[in-house]
Structure 1
Amino acid sequence: MTEQFRQNVTQGAALASLLTAFFILPPANAAQSDPVRAEGVDIRLVASAPEADGKIPAMLDIRLAPGWKTYWIDPGSSGLPPQITVSGPGLRFDGVRFPAPKAFEEGSARSVGYADGVTLPLVLSHEAGAMPARVTAQVMIGVCKDICVPVQASLSADLSGPAAANPLDKARIALAEESLPGPPQPDLTVTSARVKDAKLVLELTAPAGEPPQIFLSSSKGASFGTPKIVPAGPGRFRAETTLRLPRAAAAPAEAGITAVLVSGRRAVEMPLVFE
């Protein structure tokens, strides 16, 4: 949690004592969990019946009231990254997928996240021979308006009942998956990555015109400054930002850095490969 986030929580302590209680509601006998509600946010787990290849379509549905926001996997200098674990007998959980975020300027601070709610697909499957009856998610996210507070939730959805085959839920999960960044394209990609003078320097290809946006995250805990992007020729741009490596990574290539590149309504995602 960043220092600014801690300060905001302290300023809102009276409300935070109410909003950050650990909500555990009885599980719904359906493919949707009962919602967990706090001021400004409504969280639910949506899942569908296991498919023939072992995949279990599922997502977190985070709905925000007007004026509220929540955070991306790397929230910037003033946010709280989401913490999500999923479990269940016979389940395999391989992570959470995130749509392209937006940047929010807050005085001298910059945060990264979502202002209109967000759906987060879950990468779930079942083990061979296992037919899971229930999926459970433990969630903690930060939400902000005038104050910032962490909200925790325990969510559970039934995969064994007839509602697990609800085509509407399955279609909503498919739509959430379709909204994810795609693979890099010849006209929208990172063409090179290097570190020079403690700065991460990226060469980008993107449609001419307004510079693209780039969002960086690290599976090993590397931290980044605000990227500065400048034109570098027709259809080319250069992005620079400060890079602080964690102790677990002796070199940038060991930091597990991923880039999401956004141009207009298009977004692509790729791991950085260093020179």
Structure 2
Amino acid sequence: MTMPPDPCRNSQAPENAGPALAWIARGVAAIFICMALGTPVHAGTSPWFEATGGAVRLISAGGAAAADGTYRAALEIRTEPGWKTYWRYPGDSGIGTSADFSGSQNIASAALAFPAPERHEDPYSTTIGYEGGAVLPIVVKPASAGGDATLVTDVSLGLCREVCVPVSTRLEIPLGPDTARDTTNDKAIAAALAKVPEPASPGDPLSVTGVEIESGTPAIFRFTAHLAAPDSPTDLFVEGPEGSYLSVPALASRDGATAVFTLSSEGLVHEGGTATLRLTLVNGAKAVEQRWTLNTSAMD
């Protein structure tokens, strides 16, 4: 059996060469075949990890790093009809979503970002999360610029309907200039990044402008917010220091561009007379995030 010629083998022109252009064309074609065979193209998407109520995977935009040297990836969560997943802080119950990237290779840093979440209420609790799935962006900084890297994620999350199903798995994808560009993933990640809350300070068009502590057992926090879109829905989510288990704020009043939310201090961890809160204020299609340090000495 005669084997076909190896297009990647270096050879001389045949003795009875045909027209020069035909021979050159064959040579150019061989070069492109060799390049295709010698340059693997890795998928920018991990397989789905299936669980009761949904599935999770890693995706990336693929291709070379952005101008700032970072790669764009995301944790994609798919939920079945009637199921939901949780924000980083779940609210009254549930399992917050988290990711550990310490097993990655050639990665200096990786940060999981969260688009603005939604409030979900039932007769038993108020939770914070996403219905219909979610794309959580990951901004990745490689340790060696321009080199290949592997993003490894140990992820923990919950999928909930009548019951909450804990999900834990390890996912990984390659990153680097040799990975194929994926326009579908790129658009999904860009859309999710656009929904991540922006930093804000008191006095910005959309911001929390004041926090008061009303004495009692437990004490009550009153958050005053200025709204950029007075006619649009608004919501506030509050996270305390590590170890805190706060509920979800309630909208107490709303008058034009001013909204007031109240929250019980029960479950707040505070030491040394202060506690720093992480505030996420949502107003229509926009969301902002702030840090607010409380003087909690009156609560002790």
Q: TM-score, normalised by structure 2?
A: 0.73
* Deviation by residue 1:90-127 (Cα, 9 ceiling, x = unmatched): 21234311111111112131111111101101132012
Task: Indicate yes or no: 2:127 matched with 1:111.
Answer: yes
Q: Which whole-Å CA distance do the structure 2 matches of 1:179 and 1:210 have between them?
A: 16
What secondary structure, in the 3-state scheme, does the structure 2 residue paired with 1:173 have?
A: helix
2:135–2:188 CA contact under 8 A, matched in 1: no
Of the three residues 109, 118, 131, the one matched with 2:147 is 131
Deviation, 1:142, is 0.6
Once the two structures are superposed, the pairs formed by residues 220-231 of structure 1 within 5 Å of their partners are 220-231=242-253
Q: Which runs of 5+ in 1 are unaligned?
A: 1-27
Asked if the contact 1:212/1:262 (under 8 Å) is kept, the reply is: yes
Distance 2:211 2:156 in 1: 33
**Which of structures 1 and 2 has the larger relative contact order (alpha carbons within 8 angstroms, sep 6+)?**
1
Seen in structure 2, the aligned counterparts of structure 1 residues 233 and 85 have a Cα distance that, compared at 3 Å, is: same
Query: 2:269 aligned with 1:246, yes or no?
Result: yes
Alignment partner, residue 235 of structure 2 = 213
Within the candidate set 81, 96, 113, 1:81 is matched to 96
Offset of residue 241 of structure 1 = 0.4
| Percent identity for Structure 1 against Structure 2 | 28
Contact 1:90 1:130 (8 Å CA) reproduced: no
Matches within 5 A, 1:16-31: 29-31=42-44
**How many angstroms apart in 1 are the aligned matches of 2:153 and 2:196?**
21
The equivalent of 1:44 in structure 2 is 57
Identify unmatched segments of 5+ residues in structure 2. 1-40, 296-300
Residue identity in the other structure for 1:54: G
Separation in structure 2 between the aligned mates of residue 53 and residue 46 of structure 1, nearest angstrom: 20
Task: Give the TM-score normalised by structure 1.
Answer: 0.79
CA contact (8 A) 2:52 2:165 kept: no
Q: Deviations over 1:44-72 (max 9, x none)?
A: 10123433422121110111111001111
Counterpart in 1 of 2:115?
A: 99
**Computing the radius of gyration over CA atoms, which structure comes out larger, 1 or 2?**
2
> Paired residues, what number?
245
Query: What whole-Å deviation, never above 9, does each CA across 1:120-161 have from its counterpart, x for those lacking one?
Result: 011320124572431111111111112211011211112247
Structure 1 runs, 4 residues or longer, greater than 4 Å off: none
Look up the equivalent residue of 1:64 and give its one-letter code: T
CA distance in 2, matches of 1:124, 1:133: 10
The residue type equivalent to 1:269 in the other structure is: E
Is contact 2:107–2:150 with CA below 8 Å preserved after alignment? Answer: no
Root-mean-square deviation (CA, aligned residues, Å) is 2.5
Taking a change above 3 Å as real, the CA distance of residues 212 and 99 of structure 1, as seen in their structure-2 partners, is same
